[in-house]
Amino acid sequence: MHSTVDGFRYGAVTPVAAYLMACLGGALGLRCIVRSLLDEESWKPGWLALGAASIGCGIWTMHFIAMLGFQVEETGIRYDTGLTLLSLALAIIVVGIGVFIVGYRGSGKITLGVAGVVTGIGVAVMHYLGMAAVEVNGDIRYDPLTVVLSVAIAVVAATAALWAAVSIRGFMTSLGASLVMGVAVSGMHYTAMAAVSVHVHGNGNGAWAGDSPTSLLLPMLLGPAVFLLLAGVVVMFDPLLVLGDGEWSKSATSQRTWAAKETTEPAPQHSSAGFGGPVGHARPRLDH
């Protein structure tokens, strides 16, 4: 029996929340990657890893917040815990591959293309692995053309995100890029969900093992959300990330100039001929 699929169970709440999480992860990830490229003395692998984890957590959190609004009217929904966690690990790993490629090899056309394809396909696989964790009393089917379109969107979005990561330096431009990334990632998700159809078995009242959406997803979303919060704290307390390249460079140059000035400036000289007298003048003689 063909069922009715609804991806907006709570109206605009889940799409907006999902979009905001994608933007947050993208913004934090971009700033961390920029940090690794601006300061040669920083621990580059650490900043790249933090950036990849931020973007990966943002994408995964976006996906499952959006999935909270997914329902099939004729049957309940459960989630497989193992596959759900595996999809989170996959999201971080595939984003990390792309980030480390462009972080060390630059944004050449071939490098960016390879990294974008690998990351984009990986993000798409993460989405469909997350969908494989969905258990219903029926069969989940996909429209092939819409699936191909969703993968293409994922590749384009990943390529654009990686280009932005190594090309954009300013804080406001990174913020704007993260908003565009949020649109692209959310668009990929809802395009992929448009490919879904469900055919339930019998009357749709059969029982199956697994965890319900709220009992599984809400606690699991807490972990990535806390991680993004901590990453945000790291970004906020790093002056290079907050000020951006130009302002931070001017601030650092100003501090170095001031320090050099204080080091080279001669100390005030005092007269050795008397107390408080001008330099080079003898203390007047007192006649008795």
Q: Give the angle 179-182-183 at the CA atoms, nearest 5°.
A: 95
The token pair at 30 is: 């971009």
Q: What is the mean pLDDT of residues 78-87?
A: 88
Query: Is residue 74 within 8 Å of residue 4, measured between CB atoms?
Result: yes
- The band of 219, judged by pLDDT with boundaries at 50, 70 and 90, is low
d(CA 244, CA 35): 9
The token pair at 144 is: 């092939």
Distant-in-sequence, close-in-space partners of 280: CB < 8 Å, separation ≥ 6: 271
Distant-in-sequence, close-in-space partners of 52: CB < 8 Å, separation ≥ 6: 29, 92, 95, 96, 98, 99, 100
Query: Is residue 88 within 8 Å of residue 53, measured between CB atoms?
Result: no
Q: Is residue 160 part of a domain?
A: yes
- The band of 96, judged by pLDDT with boundaries at 50, 70 and 90, is very high
d(CA 32, CA 233): 12
Q: Is residue 261 part of a domain?
A: no
* Predicted pLDDT of residue 263: 53
Q: Is residue 278 part of a domain?
A: no
pLDDT at residue 276 is higher than 50: no
d(CA 270, CA 15): 74
Domains identified in the chain, total number: 1
Q: Is residue 44 part of a domain?
A: yes
CA diameter of the chain: 127
Q: Is residue 161 part of a domain?
A: yes
Taking residue 130's Cβ as centre, other Cβ atoms within 10 Å add up to 24
- The band of 250, judged by pLDDT with boundaries at 50, 70 and 90, is very low
- The band of 238, judged by pLDDT with boundaries at 50, 70 and 90, is low
Higher pLDDT, 223 or 158: 158
* Predicted pLDDT of residue 147: 94
Q: Identify the domain containing residue 185 by its residue range.
A: 5-249
pLDDT at residue 80 is higher than 70: yes
